[in-house]
Amino acid sequence: MPNSRLFVHGSHKSAGYGRWLDALEIHLGWQQMRDGRRTQDFGSMAVRNEANRSDLLGLTVQGSAIESDSHALTYGIDIYHDEVSSSRIETDLATGNSSVVRARFPDGSTLTNVDAYVHDRIGISRNLLLDVGLRLSHARVDLAMTASSAAAQISNLDLSGSAGILYALSDTTDLVANLARGFRAPNIFDLGTLGARPGNRFNIANPDLGPEAVITGDLGLRITHSRGTVEAVIWGSDYQDKIVSVFTGMVDPGGRDIVQSRNASSLSLQGVELSGKWQMGERHLFDMTMNYTHGETSIANQGTEPADRVPPLNGRFGWHYERSDWRAGAQWTFADQQNRLCARDIRDPRINPAGTPGWGVLNLLWSYNPGSQWRVSARMNNVFDRSYRYHGSGIDAAGRHLRLDVEGNF
């Protein structure tokens, strides 16, 4: 069965209901995702065909009240309900006999999320803007009964919050700072997955998982000029009870490590982000972004090691040239080598145990607007046909290739 996605979305926007409901926005959506798989272990005569389906229904309602230029209140609710269908059939190629085996997910399991939130933006003074928000979240997972496990219900209720300031140091320089606390409740994938995972692993279910929590903060500086902007941000995140895939010490008959998701890790991430753009004359624009992340993780009884699949120093430099009806440009995208690997990275067949080499590729862009209704664009990626791979990816990135687009608006 091929993979497919079906999405239907409807929205309503209106305004003028009164002081506490200046604007109303409602979104209703339904998504169905089908995931079909056909797997066969090396040297085995057994072929497994599985069909997984997710039906997600979502409703969001958001209201806002703009008291003045210095005070804006936003509030609302989010409701999502996801039902998972899953089946797996094993066929013996030698005999042609087929039998039903345990599915990847407990068939008929559901996940329901109900959130209520409020966000307030307050102008304290001419130079100081305060942003505060709270979100109350309730997540409930109902795992269906299987041949090897009883039905289970997991419910989590938690409060998240954030606070941020924007302080104008001068007419051209702003200081930005944010602090937030969040959490993530385990989902059906975390709790009930049974089956092969990337990296020569086989996952078994764990219905006893709890939520993971994170505290994150950032501090940034933004400088604005008539010709462009420059931004620099430092940030950090601290995760507790993080859900990670832990090796159980057992190996399945196919030689794969048997793993299980557990609240067994704490994770610390720190990073730096730089970005900027500069206008040279009327037609030339230069832009750039650079990102660096450093991570350490600690798993119970295993000590501290580098966090898994952390990207290396990476970024992009761009040049853009614009005329009245056409544009051209070039981008240099790059990543440094990454040799800070954890034990899981080293065992992962998608990652070179010596690390992922650095790389840089050149992309060329061009677009033409023959009129107000039409746009023709072309993009050549990886001009020099370099062989490279994003750190943690299972496949090499595409070689030299050309993309053509024609857009029409009626």
Q: What is the DSSP string of 301-330?
A: TTEEEEPTT---SEEEEEEEEE-SSEEEEE
Q: How far apart are CA 405 and CA 378, in angstroms?
A: 6
Nearest by Cα to 137 from 191, 82, 181? 181
Is residue 1 pLDDT above 70, yes or no? no
Q: What percent of the chain stands above pLDDT 70?
A: 100
What would the pLDDT profile of 328-370 be if each residue is shown by its tens digit?
Answer: 999 999 999 999 999 888 888 889 999 999 999 999 999 999 8
CA 52 remoteness from chain centre:
21
Q: What is the pLDDT of residues 5-42, one digit of tens each?
A: 999 999 999 998 888 899 999 999 999 999 999 988 88
Residue 240 to residue 213: CA distance in whole angstroms: 5
| Percent of the chain surpassing pLDDT 90 | 70
- Give CATH for domain 4-307: 2.40.170.20
Contacts of 170 by beta carbon, 8 Å cutoff, 6+ apart = none
Strands (E), 281-399: 284-299, 303-306, 314-322, 326-335, 359-368, 374-381
Per-chain mean pLDDT for the chain:
92
Q: Which pair of tokens denotes residue 78?
A: 């989010």
Task: Note the Cα 160 to chain centre separation in Å.
Answer: 19
Q: Name the residue type at position 74.
A: T
Cα 192 from chain centre: 21
Q: Is 205 helix (H, G, I), strand (E, B) or coil?
A: coil
Which two structure tokens, joined as six digits, stand for 304?
């501290």
| Domain residue ranges of the chain, discontinuous segments joined by + | 4-307, 308-410
Question: What per-residue confidence (pLDDT) applies to 127?
Answer: 94
- Largest Cα–Cα separation, the chain: 79
Q: Count the Cβ atoms, other than its own, within 10 Å of residue 235.
A: 16
Whole-prediction pTM = 0.82
Q: Buried b vs exposed e over 394-403: b needs ≥16 C-beta within 10 Å? A: eeeeeeeeee
Q: How far apart are CA 374 and CA 372, in angstroms?
A: 6
Give the N- to C-terminal CA distance of the chain in Å, as an integer. Answer: 36
What's residue 277's pLDDT?
97
Strands 228-251 and 303-306: unpaired
Residue 168: pLDDT over 70: yes
Distance CA 160, CA 261 (A): 23
